[in-house]
């Protein structure tokens, strides 16, 4: 009886301790965001520069998501991502518009307006209007919101880049806003030319300059193009969408697969012109948010804390001119 009692008491004590540990852990996890990634016992906060939100029922829809895509053919709203951000202690987010719909520029601002601390920046998409009379008034209106930090040029609607196109880029630079490219329709060479012609415009290449990896050595032409565009100091690069780089899906979970591309961007852009982005929810096709962050860390840990701080938040704050995160004391 005594023995049984002792055993039950031990069990109860263990359960209580478990609860206590769990409570303590959740209290810690609920602390101000952006406090994870502890290295040397001190937190390195994170600004994720590439998160998408979308409403699948928006009028213009999202053509690139196929109806039979079981993971992505649905809406992704802030309520879907916020628990993930909190759990991974991401303290700042730059939302990047998915698709090229003009009204979706404002939609992305509106849907994130309830938490301006978390959603520090919005990158819209002005592919359809740049170089036209529509650009200046729309851009001015969007810039009334300080969180409108710039726009992406993904689709290309002019074969030759006109004076009107450059006039709009000059205006963008004057307003202190940035332009993002996912090289493709705009080649690395074209982006390099833009960077030289508008040297005060801050430009960023999404997703490692859109490289595709299959495990074989990097394409020498791509390497050359990246090194050339990186010569312009106003061009940055996103260490983003790791999973999306892999030709084969689901993407490999081994950092070795991505290391050549990582090494190349570090070597060509340097540690001051790289920012982190997850590309959530597109990541979900391979793995959850924590897994892509873990993979990025696996590489950055080798570079040391100073570099991790730059890539995970400091460079993003400087590039987008948004408030930086404070490391936890």
Residue 70 Cβ vs Zn ion, minimum distance, rounded to whole Å: 18
Residue 180 Cβ vs Zn ion, minimum distance, rounded to whole Å: 10
Query: Tokens 């994130």, residue?
Result: 112
Nearest Cα residue to 300 out of 248, 249, 265: 265
Q: Does 48 bind Zn ion (CB under 5 A)?
A: no
Q: Where are the beta strands (DSSP E) in 241-319?
A: 274-277
Q: Does 104 bind Zn ion (CB under 5 A)?
A: no
When the beta carbons of 104 and 279 are compared against Zn ion, the nearer one is: 279
Within a 13 Å sphere around the CA of 60, how many CA atoms are in the beta-carbon half? 11
Residue 140 Cβ vs Zn ion, minimum distance, rounded to whole Å: 27
CB-based contact 148:173 (threshold 8 Å):
no
Nearest Cα residue to 129 out of 151, 147, 97: 151
Buried b / exposed e along 195-232 (16+ C-beta atoms within 10 A): beebeebbbbbbbbbbbebeeeeeeeebbebbeebbeb
Residue 279 Cβ vs Zn ion, minimum distance, rounded to whole Å: 4
When the beta carbons of 50 and 177 are compared against Zn ion, the nearer one is: 50
Say how many residues touch Zn ion, by CB under 5 A: 1
Task: Report CA torsion sign: 286, 240, 246, 63.
Answer: positive
Q: Which of residues 228-267 bind Zn ion (CB under 5 A)?
A: none
Residue 35 Cβ vs Zn ion, minimum distance, rounded to whole Å: 26
Q: Kindly indicate which of the ranges 113-121, 246-254, 272-280, 302-310 contains the residues binding Zn ion, using the contact rule CB under 5 A.
A: 272-280
Q: Which two tokens stand for residue 113?
A: 């307006």
When the beta carbons of 198 and 240 are compared against Zn ion, the nearer one is: 240
Q: Which of 35, 168, 180, 279 binds Zn ion (CB under 5 A)?
A: 279
Which residue of this chain has its Cβ atom nearest to Zn ion in the complex?
A: 279
Residue 114 Cβ vs Zn ion, minimum distance, rounded to whole Å: 23
Binding site residues, Zn ion, CB under 5 A:
279
């Amino acid at each position: 009886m005594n023995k049984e009692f002792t055993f039950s008491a031990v069990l109860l004590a263990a359960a209580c301790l478990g609860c206590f540990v769990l409570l303590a852990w959740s209290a810690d996890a609920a602390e101000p965001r952006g406090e994870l990634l502890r290295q040397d016992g001190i937190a390195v906060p994170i600004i994720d520069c590439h998160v998408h939100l979308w409403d699948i029922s928006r009028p213009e829809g999202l053509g690139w998501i196929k109806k039979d895509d079981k993971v992505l053919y649905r809406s992704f709203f802030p309520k879907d991502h916020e628990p993930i951000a909190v759990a991974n202690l991401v303290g700042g987010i730059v939302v990047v518009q998915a698709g090229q719909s003009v009204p979706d520029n404002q939609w992305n601002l509106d849907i994130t307006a309830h938490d301006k601390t978390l959603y520090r920046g919005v990158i819209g998409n002005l592919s359809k209007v740049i170089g036209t009379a529509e650009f200046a008034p729309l851009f001015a209106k969007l810039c009334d919101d300080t969180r409108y930090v710039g726009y992406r040029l993904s689709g290309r609607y002019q074969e030759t880049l006109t004076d009107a196109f450059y006039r709009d880029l000059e205006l963008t630079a004057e307003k202190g806003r940035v332009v993002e490219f996912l090289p493709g329709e705009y080649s690395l060479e074209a982006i390099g030319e833009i960077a030289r012609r508008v040297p005060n415009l801050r430009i960023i290449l999404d997703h490692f300059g859109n490289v595709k990896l299959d495990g074989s050595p990097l394409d020498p032409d791509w390497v050359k193009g990246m090194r050339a565009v990186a010569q312009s100091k106003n061009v940055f690069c996103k260490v983003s969408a790791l999973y999306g780089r892999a030709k084969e899906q689901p993407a490999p979970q081994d950092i070795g697969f991505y290391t050549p591309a990582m090494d190349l961007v570090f070597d060509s852009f340097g540690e001051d012109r790289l920012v982190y982005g997850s590309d959530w929810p597109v990541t979900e096709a391979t793995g959850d948010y924590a897994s892509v962050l873990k993979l990025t860390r696996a590489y950055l840990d080798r570079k040391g804390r100073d570099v991790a701080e730059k890539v995970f938040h400091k460079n993003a704050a400087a590039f987008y001119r948004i408030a930086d995160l404070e490391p936890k004391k």
